[in-house]
A and B are shown apart, each in its own frame.
Chain A
């Protein structure tokens, strides 16, 4: 790797050669040894301090790994520098001692739960103590370049005192490597319990080499990827799968009354431009309730202006022809639909595919082409929006909600009953808190096995 950082990880070596089966087996055995030496007996408090330090380092403008990441990140990941910086710094700002402690309290009920058997105040009998133990070696199979999810999983893995091998798809390991380097840089012993490797998915021989050593496998990806991994992973290994999801926004009448709609428009743009809309927490559609203050069509028109302005401040960056082509094709289609279908409008950047906004009266959920391509749809109420989202039922992760306090409770209840797993204010869809229950499951507790000691 042509960089100043040393080659600690397999993925630091030339990306042209995939690792061999023997190399991966050796790496797994080394990871397990290092865990035993450096991680297993370490206290949770010490881990929390170290991980918070790692994140804090990223907030220093002159931190060399940060500088290197921001310099080389755009060409390595395709994200423009503003998008990359904002996304990474937003993530790091969440990794504080307080938040890490809150996560453990939330998932395990006791800060020292992973250090020694301890009793909860809620355990009224007083005659049981419990200890939660992480696996010896976790294998993570990651999807694409979006780092938040894999960073979180790595942090949780370290908190659970597990060694970890992160398998990235070819050409997508850059940010994961930089994060791992920052852990190594902060605490080499902790870094020695991590390995990052790249190889094309479906190399059964290589994957089996890791499965043979791992106790737990996490996989993030499409339904097809997950189903393929599920078939591969031996039955005695625990598998945690996180499928691809979609998200949307919902804006109620009440949110558009009085003041504050400019802030709301800005927050909508924040959600659209975060990671250029590529994450599963990014909105495809913004549903706007019919209202007299700022009717949905006018909201859309204003939002188009805001997208145009934001493009100047935070450009989306170039796309390959293969990435831009679906946007061009979809735009041509909506040009035709808008020409003769009342209630369909298309606003877009001229001479580029930088941003696109389609307004439709039809509430049917549309899967966006991403890269800042957003649908705004008019609805009478939440039921109509849910009806429109039926085809993605079970695949909706987050709803970015803007509603008055009097409306919010009822809306959240309806969304929860329908199966939505996260509701958050608009503007923070891509910034889930550390204690977010990914896909509705306790992220840390999912990794652990409990031991109960009945006294």
Chain B
């Protein structure tokens, strides 16, 4: 039987080698990363697509069907789209069952089938290393000069939500910072396993700080906090130099606000400048994350009013593609987010998300996640049946 794992393992090692170990702990090291080069990225992406086609018969068949096996694909743009839905319908993994140690599910209601992104010790090692490398580029503790002494996560303790990639991400950050900063997870789980926030305790913790804090949470948990503060007619003032890390969307678990309104409300309610709110874009089906702002330190704030676009690390590229033609539109055009993620060594290098975005110079502006076909008529849609 053909060994399809060793080549993927070798690919992973080469990918990790692209990060200079001396710089991994310091941040601001990726400007010269070799995968920013088109040629290098292209070669790596095509190689990974080929290797995954060998290891995953579903993807192999797709490549065959597109008559685009190894050699015939000339550019990473030609790698076929793999919609996130396949993570629900198929065992979309290159990791043999015996090697799987954990699985991340997409968040969703319990009535719906969720995505399954399997991981092994090896794949998690890659995930965590690359996650921290790109995160350090955007957070003030990257160069070890953070003034902050604490991280507060509004999510439940990671051990209580083993299948959440977001919880794993936060746990990874928390672990990486344990020498420098204290971490605290304030979130809880409802009887139906929804993420909740004990409000009184959260407000007590956030209002009793004397040093800058990093507060990590999902958009809907932040909205719950905003609603609570509004009901209680309270405002907080986080210490100068604090930062909010917002991700994960609303998931139908809170009212939804425009991004601008949301950030304005957060800034007012928590006493923090809008420029100190960092947004992350990620999902359980991907291993890389995009950030919309570089927050370096209180000495170097981002100028207010600068457009904020999401940007992936050098080992992932995004195309905002026209759903009609499948090709990438021009700057300012709206389309679907298609990510080629080299960090997804063990699952799918190509991920067609259900997100709609506008292509911008150097990144993309997220418009939102697709719920169902936009309706103009009265026919029932799958969302109505869920």
Contact = CB atoms under 8 A, between A and B. Distances in A.
B83 A332 contact: yes
B181 interface: no
A370 B373 contact: yes
B380 A244 contact: yes
Which one of B336, B376, B379, B380 has the highest number of Cβ atoms from chain A below 10 Å of its Cβ?
Answer: B379
Contacts of B61: 336, 339-340
Contacts, number: 150
Nearest to B329: A321
B376 A329 contact: no
A176 to B, nearest CB: 13
Interface in A283-322: 284, 319-322
Contacts of A324: 322-324
A278 B372 CA distance: 13
Contact of A275 (B64, B86, B372, B377): B377
12 contacts: A220-B378, A278-B376, A322-B334, A332-B80, A332-B83, A336-B58, A339-B61, A340-B57, A352-B324, A353-B323, A370-B379, A392-B385
Nearest to B333: A321
Interface residues of B, number: 43
Contacts of B380: 222, 244-246, 280, 367, 392, 395
Contacts of B374: 320, 322-323
A328 B354 contact: no
Given A321-B335, A336-B62, A337-B89, A78 B324 contact: no
B373 A149 contact: no
Contacts of A332: 80-83, 352
B204 interface: no
A369 B381 CA distance: 7
Contact of B80 (A327, A335, A353, A370): A335
Contacts of A245: 378-380
B376 A321 contact: no
Which one of B81, B85, B89, B374 has the highest number of Cβ atoms from chain A below 10 Å of its Cβ?
Answer: B374
A277 B324 contact: no
Interface of A: 77-78, 143-146, 149, 172, 220-223, 244-247, 275-280, 282, 284, 319-330, 332-333, 335-340, 351-353, 367, 369-371, 391-392, 395
B325 interface: yes
B340 to A, nearest CB: 14
B377 A279 contact: yes
Contacts of A144: 375-378
A278 B336 contact: no
Interface of B: 57-59, 61-62, 64-65, 80-86, 89-90, 321-326, 334-336, 352, 354, 356, 367, 370, 372-382, 384-385
A353 B336 CA distance: 14
A253 to B, nearest CB: 28
The 3 closest A-B pairs by CB, nearest first: A278-B377, A328-B323, A324-B323
Contacts of B370: 322, 325-326, 329
B381 A145 contact: no
A333 B89 contact: yes
Contact of A223 (B334, B352, B384): B384
A304 B193 CA distance: 45
Given A323-B374, A339-B65, A367 B352 contact: no
B381 A370 contact: yes
Contacts of B376: 77-78, 144-146, 172, 278
B377 A391 contact: no
Contact of A333 (B85, B325, B378, B385): B85
A373 to B, nearest CB: 9
